[in-house]
Structures are given as structure tokens and as C-alpha cells.
Amino acid sequence: MLCCGKCFSDRGLELQIIPVASKVIQDCPTCGAENQRCAEAANLNDYFELLCGIYIPDENGKPLVDWLIEDWQLFSISRDQANTLLTDILGDDNRVQEPVSPSERCKSQRLNSWEELRTELRHQNRFFPETDFELGRLEELLTHLMVPIEDQDRDWFRARIQKSSAPYPGEQMGAPPKHLASHGRANPAGIPYLYLGSKTGTAVAEVRPHPGETVCVAAFRLESGLKVVDLRTPRQLVSPFLLADEDDIALLRGDIEFLERLGNELTTPVLPNAAAIDYIPSQYLCEFIKKCHHNGVLYSSSISDGVNLALFDPALATVGNVELYKVQSVDVSIDQLND
């Protein structure tokens, strides 16, 4: 059975492993992707044996394919196709159908440690926290979420609500000067970062305009070669196949929920009157990411379908044209609170 990188939602398989293991370039018979490097499924056995080894028989568990989909979002094909492909990779139908669960090696306390740390940072010790938190492990995990800027669109946008009759010139559309920089999701007060949106609408939504207001939107061009940490979808970004040790794969599986929690720190809506306190954990996180020599952080917008980028050094983006937009309406979504 032949498969290609597009059969999977794993960048390790797609970009590194399958291109090496492939024998031909053709339309993939499994997923239908055109003109792909295709490899015999059985040639991926060693990589999958390491991954599947972290799951052990459990009569109350579920089939391997379901764990691989849930834990790693591994396949881009249907569940039935994935099950057939996995059977061919492992060469053992009984093993694929046997109910399993993650082993004890997959357990991690990092999420609990983070919750303790964020509580301490907000309400007890801000600059010298005492919570035992493994920063070395966090630095290692961030490497799994690093993406070069070449993999992203280099054109981004920043918006400001127009306060006078004249639009802002380009030189006033960047990050504020240090003495005017207030606290934000990523930056502490007095340390300006450049907040950008992937689309014009995303940038406009982030400034919370009212209907009838005029918004200035500047285009920014990022330098190439930048390294940013992508906190949006850790399960899709981490690749267990790039690890050579079964215990390391198990540990990574245990830390995925923790990585998802870090992404939520930058996405969860915060009330303006609570921002000074509630932003502290995400500011701490971003300061550490910056200390690890990354250039910025990608995170999902909580009020639009776009992507936000907090760029630590505003000089790494060049401003272009400024366009004016009139806000016609603002959508509101509500949920009833239960008593």
C-alpha cells in the first residue's frame, strides 16, 4: 500500500520522513493528492512502532487509530482509511483492533505546575516565584512549536482607530514608544511589542471599534528568516516521529495538554478592568519565549477567524501603505449563564 505526506497531518512525516522513504512520484492512491512522493506503508513501520509502543492493552480502552487521531490529530484521511493504512504499516490486524490506552509513562504534572505558577504570579510573587516549574522542559517543548517565518505569509496588518480628521501616517502605525506602552497580552507595561493580524479584518477586530468609526490599517512586511512559536494547535504541530526514544514520545504525549493551555493564555478573552492582573501569566510566558531567542508568538484571535502575531522586536517589520476603513457593524455572540 502506498501513502504520501498528505495522508497525514504531521510535519515530521510529510517534510522529513516520507520524502526519504519514497520510491516514486505519482498521484497518491490513498488520499488522492496529486504528484506526491509516495512510499510503501510498511517502510514506515519502525517510526510507528515507537509511537504505538506508548499504548498498552486495556479492555476498557479503544483502538490504536482512535488514540492516534485524538492525541496527535495524525491523519488527514477518513477514520476507516486511517485504520486500513495503520494496519498495513504495522502489518498486524489484531494489534490494530485491540483496545489500548496510554501507558503510565504518558502522565505529566506540568499542567498542574503551570496552574500553580500562574496563581503565584498573579497574586503572590511576581518576579521571584517559588513554584517548582521546569523551565528547561518548557524551552525544549517550544522547539516543537517553532516555525520559520518562511512558512507563514510575511504580509501582516495593524489597525488604529482614527481619533482626528487626519489618518495616521505610517510612522505612527507601529508599536507605541516605551513610555506609552501599556500592558498587553504578550508585553508588560513599558516594553512595546508589535501586535499584528494576519488579515485586515483581524487587525480591525482586535482594536474593538464601534460602528461608524474610521480605522486606519497599515500593511507590515516581516523580515524573512524569523523564528516564531506557534501556540495555536500543538497537536497538529508536534511530531512524535522526530523523537528517537519511546520514553520521549510518551513524555511529549503527556505534555500536549499543557501546551494547549499555554495557547489558551493568549486567546482567552480578558475583561479590561482585570487585564493588569490576568495578563501576567501570558506576559511571563512570552518573556520566556523571547529569552529562548524566538522572535515572536503566533496565537489565535479570540474575536475573529484570523491569526495574531506578537513580534518582540518591532524593528523586524517594515510598514507599508495605510488604508482607511469605515466600520459598518460589530457582531456580538452571547451565551446564557446557568444559575
Q: What is the pLDDT of residues 226-277, one digit of tens each?
A: 999 999 999 999 999 999 999 999 999 999 999 999 999 999 888 888 899 9
Q: Does residue 144 sit in the same domain as residue 8?
A: no
CA distances to 88, 139, 143, 226 from 150, in Å: 35, 22, 16, 8
The stretch 208-236 carries a mean pLDDT of 94
Question: Residue 284's domain spans which residues?
Answer: 134-231+266-326
Residue with cell 514506515: 44
pLDDT band at residue 103 using 50, 70 and 90 as cut-offs: very high
pLDDT digits (tens, 9 = 90+) for 264-274: 999 988 888 88
Claim to verify: residue 45 and residue 164 sit in the same structural domain: no
Domain contains 12: yes
Same domain, 274 and 174: yes
Report which of 53, 63, 54 is spatially closest to residue 84, judged by C-alpha positions. Answer: 63
Q: Domain for residue 47, yes or no?
A: yes
Q: Is residue 122 part of a domain?
A: no
